[in-house]
Structure 1
Amino acid sequence: MDNSKEHPLILRVMRLTKPSIITSSPLHNEASDTLPSIMGHSSTQLPAYGTGETLILPHSFGNIFLGETFVSYLSVNNESGSDVTSVSLTADLQTGSQRITLSNKSLNESLKPETSLDAVINHEVKELGNHILVCIVKYNRPNGETRSFRKFFKFQVLKPLDVKTKFYNIECDQVYLETQIQNITPSPICMEKVSLDPSTMYTVQSLDISTHGEFNSQSYTKPSEVRQYLYWLKLKPAHLKKAFTEAASIIGKLDIVWKSSLGERGRLQTSQLQRAIMTPRDLLVQVNKVPERLKVLEPFEVLCKLTNYSDRSKQLMVKYENQSNLLWQGSSGFALDKLNPKESCFITMHLLPTSVGIQSISGMKVVDTELNRTYEFDDIHQVLVA
């Protein structure tokens, strides 16, 4: 590699980024200070010095955050007094795992004095750690000899957000996803978009809704501040038979878009999120329909779905046992039609609330008459009785 000072060409590299804000600390004075009198001002006329905010351009490559777009301006200048032929400029980005070519530009004609070969490169950074921008300049001397030189520019890619997730399994086909996102940059950022892209097996509903629309939409997050988001996912009916399989463990990806305080956009997408699969059950009872408002001593109906997740057909019988605050009405010990594997049937239950407050529907028993095995279902659903 040749020393670039021996060459007729000069390579200049500048990262294109928004300016930052530099804030000067004000210097306050008191009545006893001598500075105002020296300057010919009274202390009441000059309460402070050096106040205000100023934009400052970056003086180095600095740091860049994961998900942001690295943009740089490259310029090869001919500062000699003669033409230079066969000028080419190559820019590669070396990461911890790969080398990416960002630009490969050349001139078919000669580069005249005081002119330049320019290029603008951009790349969305998707890896953490050290990155090196490698710029290679090649040209021909008047005698036809090919010469070259290169420059290296090193910068660090940092993690902007700390994302934590937690799953709450409701049933085998439903799950809540709680997401906590912390701003670990030194500056405020605007959370422009936080969404969950579900897998093809699930539907998703965001529960971060307030009276003003989406919760925390377009709001600034201070350094170290944490924002929480909640999603409700349900298996699509066509995939219910896969509820206890590994295929149902894949939930989807979080897509996060933010902006810095001066408008630079960044985007992060997590890897596939996975939930823990619930232990397979032979039978599963799910509530499909229940009245929203209940009054004490007024009967109500609950529509339930009973699903056979076992590998054999079952001949079933349903029994009820009364609880203290909810009484079962109607017949108990009635038989159902034979239920084949992975099939469901619907049962309408009649109950009478005897106390106000939150009451739990319990005391349902399903008996497999062929195996003489009893399945007990408690805390099937909770209702509010007024």
Structure 2
Amino acid sequence: KEVVEHLVALKVMRLTKPALISPKIVTCDFKDLPGNILNNFLKDDATSVVQMETLAAGQFLLLPQSFGNIYLGETFSCYVCVHNETNQPVQSVSIKADLQTSSYRIPLTTQQNAAPLMLDVDETLSDVIHHEVKDLGTHILVCEVTYMSNYNTLASFRKFFKFEVMKPLDVKTKFYNAESDDVFVEAQVQNITSGPIILEQVLLDSSPQFTVNSLNEDSDGLSVFGDVTLLQSQESCQYLYCLTPKDNISKDIKLIAAAKNIGKLD
């Protein structure tokens, strides 16, 4: 397939928290065979900290090199940039960005309906897009650039960026039936992301057939887990709730047995 050289270049970067970059430490004693060659090379490394070269301390921020992990409920943000790399102006430049899932396609760019622009030499056309991810599975960011070629015809090209959206939490439940017809629900919430998560609130929304009583607070109404429920990666936390059948079904054994929908966990 013939490779087409375009007049403009497209760059896409996900906007996430940058990381500190540190030098790769390879050193030795000056009496060893390499002498001070490795030490001098480490001192000349731009990412090393002066007089602390062997501590792997970073002083530069590394921009995201890939889309990385994206979890359900996060806001996906990225920077889309079109750059004129030629020595002449490029006419009628426009950007279009869509997010494709298995079931729908969402337009993202804020310049979807903007008029095409002229890019002078070394000029750029950029856009920052945001989207709250609400579905699991494979997502594809489709970026399309259109411009006027040297032959006064519209030219365009696309780039595709695939990423997976994963669950941030894993929830497991257990049920215990009491002799008083109450149902105790134990919910184990586990952080399955690669970083820490703060649980602001975990509630059990009962069905109309039950009333729910949370057993996760003390007598003063304060959480037994403290002011902040912080879960490190792979850590879990157990929550306990008591469900009591309402009066209209508590006196009928058949209605209690048929009451299988107890509610949902939020």
**AA at the equivalent of 2:89:** S
SS at match of 2:17: coil
- Structure having greater relative contact order (Cα 8 Å, sep ≥ 6): 2
2:16 paired with 1:17: yes
Per-residue deviation, 1:156: 2.5
- TM-score, normalised with respect to structure 1: 0.52
> What is the match of residue 115 of structure 2?
108
- Equivalent residue in structure 1 for 2:196, among 182, 188, 200: 188
The Cα offsets for residues 322-357 of structure 1, whole Å up to 9 and x where unpaired, read as: xxxxxxxxxxxxxxxxxxxxxxxxxxxxxxxxxxxx
2:258 paired with 1:215: no
Report if the CA contact (8 A) 2:94-2:117 is conserved: no
Per-residue deviation, 1:135: 0.8
> What is the match of residue 363 of structure 1?
none
- Equivalent residue in structure 2 for 1:82, among 73, 76, 89: 89
**AA at the equivalent of 2:239:** Y
**AA at the equivalent of 2:185:** L
More strand by proportion, 1 or 2?
1
> What is the match of residue 254 of structure 1?
265
Per-residue deviation, 1:71: 1.1
Per-residue deviation, 1:149: 0.1
SS at match of 1:93: strand
> What is the match of residue 359 of structure 1?
none
**AA at the equivalent of 2:144:** I
Per-residue deviation, 1:26: 9.7
- Following the alignment from structure 1 to structure 2, what is the Cα–Cα distance between the partners of residues 204 and 23? 52
Report if the CA contact (8 A) 2:172-2:189 is conserved: yes
Quote the RMSD (CA, aligned, Å): 3.8
> What is the match of residue 95 of structure 1?
101
- Following the alignment from structure 1 to structure 2, what is the Cα–Cα distance between the partners of residues 22 and 201? 56
**AA at the equivalent of 2:233:** P
Per mean C-alpha deviation after superposition, the further-off stretch among 197-206 and 234-243 is 234-243
The structure having more radius of gyration, on CA atoms, is 1
**Percent of counterpart pairs with the same letter?**
46
- TM-score, normalised with respect to structure 2: 0.71
- Number of aligned positions between the proteins: 240
Report if the CA contact (8 A) 1:10-1:79 is conserved: yes
> What is the match of residue 154 of structure 2?
146
- Following the alignment from structure 1 to structure 2, what is the Cα–Cα distance between the partners of residues 231 and 2? 65
- Following the alignment from structure 2 to structure 1, what is the Cα–Cα distance between the partners of residues 84 and 25? 46
**AA at the equivalent of 2:78:** S
- Following the alignment from structure 2 to structure 1, what is the Cα–Cα distance between the partners of residues 179 and 62? 55
The Cα offsets for residues 236-290 of structure 1, whole Å up to 9 and x where unpaired, read as: 44666794475x42233322xxxxxxxxxxxxxxxxxxxxxxxxxxxxxxxxxxx
